[in-house]
């Protein structure tokens, strides 16, 4: 049975033990082209709001 | 005809100069004094430092741009200011020393009606023995603060990769080189770009990577951290940062003042007063920032540097420098107009203005060594402040001395920041963040200091695409290509 990546990460040392670790799904979504295209649009809109509030 | 002199052609000064030239037209003169022949989009130096961009891709020649804009360009560094003139000169003037244009080493007094100081930081390598004072590149360590530094860093990085390929383990130490550093964000980007490139080169398992910084917690970034709304929770940046470091197998040491650098090792002191040393094969440590060391003289020639500049060398502006202890700090301590309180025709913008105090909670070790980040002035605030100051100066020139000054307080503006965590069209990631406001306002938001509706962050490929687009967009804007004014700072 293959060990999950988060098991390896948590086991590295004491510092890692108490952190929040992304699982396989969250990690995969970070570079999923369709999901990231949607996030691209949303992040740009959010940034535009902050930029317009700051000028 | 009025003359507006801008000292420094970086992010803030270039913004101020180009808008001033556009708004004032040819009836007034805009002069830029800056020692560099090229403009540098500094955020992309990170990618030069890992060989993913060349120096040429992140810089361009200033001369043709200033010619096109009708700006008088003096490739020189400012040395001193005479805000009252001198016994032989009735007008205020700045003394400059040429670094190019065939006049290297020559001095000149440039008179002005208004002066904008946008000289940015002096990279104060001298603050930590062995960090690289004199070499201006880093002595035993490397830096990514300028395009040249980043190119040098990449050479060293490639050497390390070759060693790993030959079977030699390498230890990478990346972070801040002194207890009073700022710019943790740049080091954060560099450490994750290094990690990403090592993976791509197939040698990640031969590398130990460690972060060292003066932050009291991971994710402070000199802003006291930030709280972001994610999945219905409002969460501290500490949680996100620790998560990312742990996920990418990067160890961390925080609350650290690097007291000495030698070949292959650094000495440090921690917030609990303990000391130690850490070895490295490759280290990128950001130097602390100071003002560039301009002097100021009164009409009779007496030294008034202390009146015009704060002890750290940054120019005094309309900030509250007497706020006292941390408990008394308020958002309203932060400057709004960036006008010098003594000389009303003098302004400072970007990193060159003296902040009223730090943003993070002040900390020191039991031995009295201050170990806390100093306040960052990132690209967006530097650009916005540069534009606001240019607007004020143009109004003073065209409408007279009673003109209303434009305001741009860092306690009332937000910032968007994208921190690269690895480059690649389909494999890259970056943390895209916004904060509002940059300087927390605990009177308005007693818990987090910021509006959590406008403060967010997430990591992913989308952030990388945005970072890449921003690279091209800001270089396009700085070159004054058609429609440049439509691109926000
Ligand atoms: C590696 C790195 C990565 C970064 N990444 C980001 C990022 O991703 N996002 C972000 O928002 N910010 C980032 N920053 C911060 C950003 O670069 C700064 O906020 C910005 O450059 C500040 O603008 P400035 O005009 O005040 O200073 P600078 O851009 O440094 O410009 C100062 C100018 O003054 C000139 N000068 C110096 N001395 C003199 C003198 N005596 N007389 C005349 N001119 C002088 C200098 O040559 C320079 O041209 C990064 C910084 C670094 C170092």
CA distances to A31, B112, B124, B139 from B134, in Å: 43, 33, 10, 9
Q: Going by C-beta distance under 8 Å and a sequence separation of 6 or more, which residues neighbour residue B479?
A: B60, B65
pLDDT at A53 over 90: no
Closest-CA residue of chain B to A40? B462
pLDDT-derived band of residue A54, with 50, 70 and 90 as boundaries?
confident
Q: Going by C-beta distance under 8 Å and a sequence separation of 6 or more, which residues neighbour residue B82?
A: B89, B92, B93, B94, B95, B109, B296, B297, B298, B299
pLDDT at B230 over 90: no
pLDDT tens readout for residues B360-389: 999 999 999 999 999 999 999 999 999 999
Cα separation, B3 vs B110, whole angstroms: 10
- pLDDT recorded at residue A8: 87
Cα separation, B430 vs A49, whole angstroms: 20
* 3-state DSSP of B348-369: ECHHHECCCCCCCCCCECCCCC
pLDDT tens readout for residues B52-99: 999 999 999 999 999 999 999 999 999 999 999 999 999 999 999 999
**Angle at which helices B11-24 and B62-69 cross, to 10°:** 20
pLDDT-derived band of residue B133, with 50, 70 and 90 as boundaries?
confident
Interchain pair B429, A12: CB under 8 A: no
Atom 49 of ligand 1, residue of closest alpha carbon = B10
B83: helix, strand or coil: coil
| Tokens representing residue A54 in the block | 């700051």
- pLDDT recorded at residue A9: 87
In a domain, B323, yes or no: yes
In a domain, B352, yes or no: yes
Domain ranges of chain A: 23-55
- pLDDT recorded at residue A1: 64
Q: Which of A8, A2, A14 lies closest to B247 in space, CA to CA?
A: A8
- pLDDT recorded at residue B447: 93
Closest-CA residue of chain A to B430? A30
Which atom of ligand 1 is nearest to B15's Cα?
Answer: 25
Domain residues for B20?
A: 3-123+289-399
The contact set of A with B (CB < 8 A) is 9-10, 12-13, 15-16, 18-22, 27, 29-33, 36-37, 39-40, 43-44, 46-47, 49-51, 53-55
B80: helix, strand or coil: strand
- pLDDT recorded at residue B391: 98
Nearest by CB: B426 against A12, A31, A53: A31
Averaged pLDDT, B419-438:
95
Interchain pair B246, A15: CB under 8 A: yes
pLDDT at B232 over 90: no
In a domain, B8, yes or no: yes
pLDDT tens readout for residues B180-204: 999 999 999 999 999 999 999 999 9
Share above pLDDT 90 across residues of chain B, in percent, rounded to a whole number = 96
Cα separation, A35 vs A43, whole angstroms: 12
pLDDT tens readout for residues B88-127: 999 999 999 999 999 999 999 999 999 999 999 999 999 9
Cα separation, B246 vs A23, whole angstroms: 13
CA B30 to chain centre: 24
In a domain, B42, yes or no: yes
Tell me if B120 CB under 6 Å of ligand 1: yes
B7, B34 in Cβ contact below 8 A? Answer: yes
pLDDT tens readout for residues B409-424: 999 999 999 999 999 9
Cα separation, B357 vs B333, whole angstroms: 8
Tell me if B351 CB under 6 Å of ligand 1: yes
Cα separation, B455 vs A53, whole angstroms: 12
- pLDDT recorded at residue B329: 96
Cα separation, B66 vs B61, whole angstroms: 9
Count: domains in chain B = 1
| CATH, residue B361 | 3.50.50.100
Averaged pLDDT, B321-329:
95
Least confident of A6-15, B160-169, B280-289, B327-336: A6-15
Sign of CA dihedral B33, B307, B403, B439: positive
Task: Count the helices and strands in chain B (H runs, E runs).
Answer: 10, 24
pLDDT tens readout for residues B254-299: 999 999 999 999 999 999 999 999 999 999 999 999 999 999 999 9
Least confident of A16-25, B163-172, B254-263, B307-316: A16-25
Cα separation, A33 vs A36, whole angstroms: 5
Residues making up chain B, counted from first to last: 489
Q: Going by C-beta distance under 8 Å and a sequence separation of 6 or more, which residues neighbour residue B374?
A: B180, B181, B182, B222, B288, B289, B355, B358
Task: Supply the mean pLDDT for chain B.
Answer: 96
Name the β-bridge partners of B115: B5, B346
pLDDT at B17 over 80: yes
């Amino acid at each position: 049975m293959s060990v999950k990546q988060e098991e390896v990460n948590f086991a590295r040392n004491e510092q890692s033990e108490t952190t929040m670790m992304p699982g396989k799904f969250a990690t995969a979504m970070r570079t999923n082209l369709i999901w990231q295209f949607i996030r691209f649009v949303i992040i740009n809109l959010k940034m535009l709001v902050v930029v317009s509030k700051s000028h | 005809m009025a003359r507006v002199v801008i000292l420094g052609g970086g992010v803030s000064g270039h913004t101020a100069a180009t808008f001033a030239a556009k708004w004032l037209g040819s009836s007034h003169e805009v002069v830029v004094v800056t020692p560099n022949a090229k403009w540098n989009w500094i955020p992309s130096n990170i990618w030069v430092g890992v060989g993913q961009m060349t120096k040429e891709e992140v810089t361009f020649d200033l001369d043709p741009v200033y010619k096109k804009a009708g700006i008088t360009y003096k490739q020189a560094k400012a040395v001193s200011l005479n805000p009252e003139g001198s016994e032989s000169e009735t007008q205020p003037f700045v003394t400059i020393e040429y670094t190019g244009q065939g006049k290297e080493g020559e001095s000149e007094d440039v008179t002005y009606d208004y002066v904008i100081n946008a000289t940015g930081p002096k990279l104060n390598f001298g603050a930590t023995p062995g960090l690289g004072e004199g070499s201006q590149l880093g002595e035993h360590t490397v830096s990514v603060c300028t395009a040249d530094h980043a190119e040098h860093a990449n050479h060293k990085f490639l050497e390390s990769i070759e060693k790993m390929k030959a079977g030699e383990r390498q230890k990478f130490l990346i972070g801040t080189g002194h207890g009073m550093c700022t710019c943790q964000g740049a080091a954060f980007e560099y450490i994750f770009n290094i990690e990403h490139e090592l993976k791509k080169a197939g040698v990640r398992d031969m590398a130990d990577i460690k972060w060292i910084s003066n932050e009291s917690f991971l994710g402070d970034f000199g802003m006291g951290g930030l709280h972001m709304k994610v999945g219905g929770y409002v969460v501290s940046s500490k949680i996100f940062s620790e998560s990312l470091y742990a996920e990418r197998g990067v160890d961390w040491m925080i609350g650290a003042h690097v007291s000495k650098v030698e070949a292959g090792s650094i000495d440090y002191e921690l917030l609990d007063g303990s000391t130690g040393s850490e070895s490295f094969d490759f280290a990128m440590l950001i130097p602390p920032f100071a003002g560039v060391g301009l002097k100021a003289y009164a009409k009779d020639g007496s030294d008034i540097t202390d009146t015009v500049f704060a002890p750290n060398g940054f120019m005094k502006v309309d900030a509250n420098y007497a706020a006292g202890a941390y408990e008394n700090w308020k958002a309203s301590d932060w400057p709004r107009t960036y006008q010098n309180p003594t000389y009303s025709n003098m302004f400072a913008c970007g990193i060159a203005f003296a902040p009223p105090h730090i943003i993070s909670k002040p900390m020191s070790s039991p031995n009295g060594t201050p170990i806390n980040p100093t306040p960052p002035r990132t690209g967006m605030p530097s650009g916005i402040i540069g534009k606001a100051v240019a607007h004020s100066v143009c109004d003073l020139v065209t409408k007279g001395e009673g003109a209303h000054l434009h305001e741009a307080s860092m306690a009332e503006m937000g910032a968007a920041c994208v921190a690269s965590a690895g480059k690649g069209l389909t494999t890259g990631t970056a943390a895209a963040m916004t904060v509002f406001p940059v300087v927390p306002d605990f009177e308005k938001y007693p818990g987090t200091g910021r509006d959590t509706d406008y403060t967010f962050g997430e990591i992913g490929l989308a952030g990388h695409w945005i970072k890449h687009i921003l690279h091209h967009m800001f270089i396009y804007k700085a070159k004054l290509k058609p429609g440049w004014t439509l691109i926000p700072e």
